[in-house]
Amino acid sequence: MSLALHLPALQVVIPLISAPLAVLVRRGGWAFLIVTAASWAALAAAIALWLATADGATISYALGNWPPPWGIEYRVDRLSSFVLLLVSATAAIVLPYARASIEREIPHAQHYLFYAMFALCLTGLLGIAITGDAFNAFVFLEISSLSGYVLIALGRDRRALVAAYQYLIMGSIGATFFVIGVGLLYLMTGTLNLADMAERIGAIRESRSVLAALAFLTVGISLKLALFPLHQWLPNAYTYAPSVVTAFLAATATKVSIYLLIRFYYSVFGESFVFQKLPLPEIMLVMSIAAMFVASLVAAFQNDLKRLLAYSSVSQIGYITLGLSYDTVNGLTASLVHMFNHAVTKGGLFLFVGCAVAVAGGSSLARLSGLARVMPLTSFGIVLGGLSLIGVPGTCGFIGKWYLILAALEKGQWGLAMAVVTSSLLAVAYVWRFVETAYFREPHASLAGRKEAPPALLAPALLLAGAMLYFGLETSVSLGSAAGAAVMLMAVGK
């Protein structure tokens, strides 16, 4: 029995087991060690799987040795290994930060429960990315969502409760729509295995039930990924959640939902059906453009840095879905690479904001005025992340936008290329709001006598800041995986 053979199962099982262990030890310190060790083991598994699928191989793992399509199959290809890598790396970086961060934001008695919830959320997100079974994906979606609601509700502001409740209502409607879609597909094809479903769906694609399934899945997953105008839950949830939770969810939860959408579009329904027979690209194009402009504009008028960045997330998701709507290899590459790079950027940004909140005691822009004099490194990190949101060359945010423009020009769509550039100018506007308050104002009273955040908070944030620069210059990992996955999806998705 070789351990390497069971990597796909271990990828999910290790964080899953760490959650009850964290509850059993009932001590924050021990729970921290267990969950961190589990997340690093998950990262190691994800790296191993990513390397194993680098040449385009697909790993199929029959859970409990029940052969697919009867049993649940875990299926790792280039796309899912890329998402696994993103999610587990974010968790591995964010967890060391969590220890110092929740010390300030969450009552001591709840620490072990926080780690248990974090482990469950990680399990769910990894599970969605790895499973090849539609209903299993629903269960993992709910595992990650339910633990996510709890994590958000742990915020110390009382509005965190309302934000978590609203997210629960919206998220559950989304998940229910998803499961309705899966149910209709199951009724039509008699299978839940995604690969098997794709084979059987060919002849009945035009039937109304399959169309209804596609509609339910699209709306349900769009709610989860906060596609404009279904993003209402996102700003409050990101604003009032504990800093570390915001960073983790912003970097992973919406990205995994995008993965799920791409998986259903390309690997189940088929690219030619979804994008050529139906008006879906047009609908998605309109939503994406609206997200890029409206959400950026709204972001520029926010008075709270976390809320500003939350609206910026909605607009950045617009770029990712814009790439999808192109229906070309370059467009899909742009989506996938921007998904990865935006996760790095937003994860890093929210970690830096967490540093600022830890020192200043709040994230309203008024409180952060003059931040640069007190916390030069944190301010620099936020500005660097802002540059990446704008898409300045040299930062990772540039790569995705560059490919979006390339893909637009490839189709002869000058207007779309211009839209990407113009909406990036709006990003300048909201990033400038932070620059102005942090660098050109007198320090706020609550910052008097304060120093830079402690190294335990700063180090993981700086690591992600380094990643923003690294993935902006050296793109073989991010762009290589994204392009490989895009070519694979377009090839099988016919």
Partner 1 sequence: MNFGSHFSYAMTVFLMMAGLFVVIARGNLIKQLVGLGILQTSVYLLYIAPGKLIGGTAPIISAQFQIYSNPLPHVLILTAIVVGVATLALGLALVVRIRETYDTIEEDEILARDHGEPAHDGA
- Contacts with partner 1 by CB under 8 A lie at 135, 138-139, 142, 146, 149-150, 153, 156-159, 161-162, 164-165, 168-169, 172-173, 175-176, 179-180, 183-184, 186-187, 192, 239-240, 302-304, 306-307, 361-364, 366-367
CB of 175 to partner 1, least distance (A): 8
CB of 137 to partner 1, least distance (A): 12
Residue 381, Cβ density class (10 Å: 0-12 exposed, 13-18 middle, ≥19 buried): buried
For 133, phi and psi rounded to 5 degrees? -125, 130
Closer Cβ to partner 1, 89 or 151, answer by number: 151
A 10 A CB-CB count for 308 gives: 23
Closer Cβ to partner 1, 158 or 451, answer by number: 158
If you search the block for the tokens 């194993």, which residue do you land on?
Answer: 52
Closer Cβ to partner 1, 163 or 488, answer by number: 163
CB of 239 to partner 1, least distance (A): 6
Closer Cβ to partner 1, 131 or 363, answer by number: 363
Closer Cβ to partner 1, 32 or 434, answer by number: 434
Residues 262 and 336: their CA atoms lie apart, in Å, by 10
Closer Cβ to partner 1, 21 or 139, answer by number: 139
Helices 233-240 and 243-262, packing angle to 10 deg: 150
Closer Cβ to partner 1, 320 or 374, answer by number: 374
Kindly give, in sequence order, each residue whose CB lies less than 8 Å from that of residue 358, ignoring residues fewer than 6 positions away. 100, 101, 104, 243, 453, 454, 457
> How far is the CA of 180 from the CAs of 185, 320, 343, 475, 479, in angstroms?
9, 25, 29, 39, 35
Kindly give, in sequence order, each residue whose CB lies less than 8 Å from that of residue 3, ignoring residues fewer than 6 positions away. 10
CB of 53 to partner 1, least distance (A): 29
DSSP 434-456: HHHHHHHSPPPGGGTT--PPPHH
CB of 448 to partner 1, least distance (A): 17
CB of 54 to partner 1, least distance (A): 34
Q: Yes or no: say if 365 and 317 are a contact pair by the CB < 8 Å rule.
A: no
Residues 448 and 430: their CA atoms lie apart, in Å, by 26
Kindly give, in sequence order, each residue whose CB lies less than 8 Å from that of residue 149, ignoring residues fewer than 6 positions away. 164, 165, 167, 168, 171
CB of 393 to partner 1, least distance (A): 33
Output the CA angle 128-132-138, nearest 5 degrees.
Answer: 45
Closer Cβ to partner 1, 7 or 365, answer by number: 365
